[in-house]
Amino acid sequence: MDKLDRSILSILQENARISNVDLADRIGLSASACLRRVAQLEKDGLITGYHANLSLEKLGHSVLVLVHITLQGQSKEMLQDFETAVGNIPQILACFLLAGESDYLLRVAAKDVADYGRIHSDFLAALPHVMRMESNFVLREVTNRGLSADSI
């Protein structure tokens, strides 16, 4: 990966909807050469997808909760059971397997505190093999970004 590839990645992180012609102009390549580079970055797995960042608040979900989960054990079956169950709960936006005090970190969206209480009692409390759960309410998002192309 060279400087041009890093520039492509950086620009696409800012605006994944940029046209190939505009992207090519910004990095100083022909449109066809730029398209080939983007296709190669996708093929190599450096670009894994294009996403729309949605406003949870405008979609009626003004509460974001980070939930630390500790399981009763860490057998392959326990981890698999837990991860399968998490995948079936649409309010869980992200799930991370951790090394450290907790086993998992969940990012959960709720309409309000009462809705989170319902999600907690109806879904989270029913997750398999959970020994301990700690909920942390997000007060404000300070930053939320991907890896900068400059740090590659």
Q: pLDDT band for position 121 (50/70/90)?
A: very high
Q: In this prediction, what percent of the chain has a pLDDT beyond 90? A: 86
User: Among residues 81, 61, 63, which one has the least CA distance to residue 71?
Assistant: 81
Residue 141 or 67, more confident: 67
Collapsing DSSP to helix, strand or coil, 70 comes out as strand
End-to-end CA distance of the chain: 9
* Residue 54 neighbours by CB distance under 10 Å: 10
Segment 113-117 mean pLDDT:
97
For the segment 114-126, the average pLDDT, to the nearest whole number, is 97
Provide the pLDDT confidence category of residue 149 given band limits of 50, 70 and 90.
Answer: low
Q: Rounded mean pLDDT of the chain?
A: 94
Chain centroid to Cα 56, Å, comes to 14
For 87-107, b where at least 16 C-beta lie within 10 A, e where not — what string?
eebebbeebeeeeeebbbbbe
Q: How far apart are CA 8 and CA 107, in angstroms?
A: 30
| Secondary structure tally for the chain: helices H, strands E | 5, 4
Q: Domain 63-137 has what CATH class?
A: alpha beta
pLDDT recorded at residue 152: 65
At 150 the pLDDT is 66
H/E stretch holding 58: none
Each residue of 60-79: pLDDT tens digit?
999 999 999 999 999 999 99
**What mean pLDDT do residues 37-64 have?**
92
Is residue 55 over pLDDT 90? no
3-43 and 63-137 agree in CATH topology: no
Query: What pLDDT does 56 receive?
Result: 87
Domain boundaries along the sequence of the chain: 3-43, 63-137
The confidence score (pLDDT) of residue 83 equals: 98
75-99 confidence digits (pLDDT tens):
999 999 999 999 999 999 999 999 9
CATH class of 3-43: mainly alpha
